[in-house]
Amino acid sequence: MKYSGIGGQAVIEGIMMKNKDSYATAVRKPDGEIVVQKDTYVSIAERVKFFGLPFIRGIFSFADSMILGMKTLTFSAGFFEDDEASQPGKIELWLDKTFGEKMEKVLMGFVMVFSVVAAIGIFMVLPLLIANMCRSVVHSDTVMAILEGLIRLGIFVTYIKLISNMKDIRRTFMYHGAEHKCINCIENGKTLTVEHVRESSKQHKRCGTSFLIIVMMISILFFMVIRVNSVWLRIVSRIVLIPVIAGVSYEFLRLAGRSDNPVINFLSVPGMWMQNLTTKEPDDSMIEVAIQAVEAVFDWKTYLEKNFPNKAP
C-alpha cells in the first residue's frame, strides 16, 4: 500500500474528497444526475505554523474536519430540501433579519459548538459518572479507569448501532464505504474503475472512526496515570485533557496511515473492526459518485505511474 494523501467523508447522497488544499463534493441529485463542486480549503495548521507542530496539529486537524464537514454537508443537503422546509419559519426569519448574510456561518458555528459540548458530555463526562457509581465496590484506580473506558466504548457502539438503523444514516455509511474503497483501490495500485473499487476493502486505517477508537484507548492509559480524588476534578481533567489525548491519537493515526509495520497494523485492529459498524458495502451508483469526487481533485493515473509503474493504465 502506498500513501496517496487523499481523504474524505460521506455526505448526504454523496462524498467529499480532499487532496492537499483542494476538495470536491460529489452528490447524486434526486433526478440521478451527479453534481460536483470543487473548492479549496486551507487548514488551520497551514495558516498558523505553530498549530502544525506534532501533538498540537491533531486538535486543529479535528477542527478542520468539522468545519469542512459542516460546509459540505450543507451543500449536499441543499439538493434534498422539500417544499415545506423551503418555507422559512419565524426563527429563520429572525435569524436572517439579525445576522443577514452571516446567518449560515452563525448557524454552522452554533451547531459545531453544540456538537462538541454534547460529545464531551455524552462520551467523556457521562462514562465517568456511571463508573463513579461503582467506586464503593471498586477500590483500584486502574480498574476504574478501565471500567470507565469500557463504558465509554459501550456508549459509542450503542449510539452507532442505533443510528445505523435509520435509512438515511445507513445510506451515508454505504457512501462512507465507497469513499474507503476508492482510496484503497488507488493505494493498492489498481485503476479507478467501478469493478476495481468494488473489489477493494471498505476499511482504511486513516478513517475518523479509527481516530475515535484510538482516543478511547489512549484515554484509558492517561486516566490510569492521572488520578484525583474529587469527582469534580476528575470531570475537569477529562475535559482539559481532550486536546492532549486528541493530539497523541492523531499522531498514531497519521503514522498508521503511512506504515505497514506489523505492530502498527495490530494496534490498528480495534479501529478497523469498529469500521464494520460505520461503513457498509456500497452499490455501483455510489461508487460512481465516489470516483467522480476523487477524479476532481486527484490525478490517480499519474500517481499509479509513479508508484506502481507495472500496473499503471
Structure confidence by residue, pLDDT tens digits, 12-50:
999 999 999 999 999 999 999 999 999 999 999 999 999
Counting residues of the chain whose pLDDT is more than 70, the rounded percentage is: 91
pLDDT of residue 85: 47
pLDDT of residue 228: 84
Helices of type H across the chain? 44-47, 57-77, 83-86, 90-99, 103-120, 126-132, 141-163, 167-187, 194-199, 208-225, 231-240, 242-256, 262-267, 269-278, 284-297, 300-307
Structure confidence by residue, pLDDT tens digits, 132-165:
999 889 889 899 999 999 999 999 999 999 999 8
> Strand 22-28 to strand 6-11: parallel, antiparallel, or no bridges (unpaired)?
unpaired
C-alpha to C-alpha distance for 212 and 135, rounded to whole angstroms: 26
Average pLDDT of the chain to the nearest whole number = 90
Distance of CA 297 to the CA centre of its chain: 19
Structure confidence by residue, pLDDT tens digits, 163-193:
998 999 999 999 999 999 999 999 999 999 9
Counting residues of the chain whose pLDDT is more than 90, the rounded percentage is: 79
Looking at per-residue confidence, does 222 or 86 come out higher? 222
pLDDT of residue 40: 96
Structure confidence by residue, pLDDT tens digits, 111-123:
888 988 999 999 9
pLDDT of residue 312: 57
C-alpha to C-alpha distance for 269 and 276, rounded to whole angstroms: 11
pLDDT of residue 82: 59
pLDDT of residue 83: 46
Structure confidence by residue, pLDDT tens digits, 45-100:
999 999 999 999 999 999 999 999 999 999 999 898 654 445 555 665 655 666 66
C-alpha to C-alpha distance for 142 and 139, rounded to whole angstroms: 9
In this prediction, residue 310 has a pLDDT band, given cuts at 50, 70 and 90, of confident
pLDDT of residue 112: 84
- Phi, psi (5° rounding) for residue 260? -115, 20
Helix (H, G, I), strand (E, B) or coil at 273: helix
> Strand 34-40 to strand 22-28: parallel, antiparallel, or no bridges (unpaired)?
antiparallel
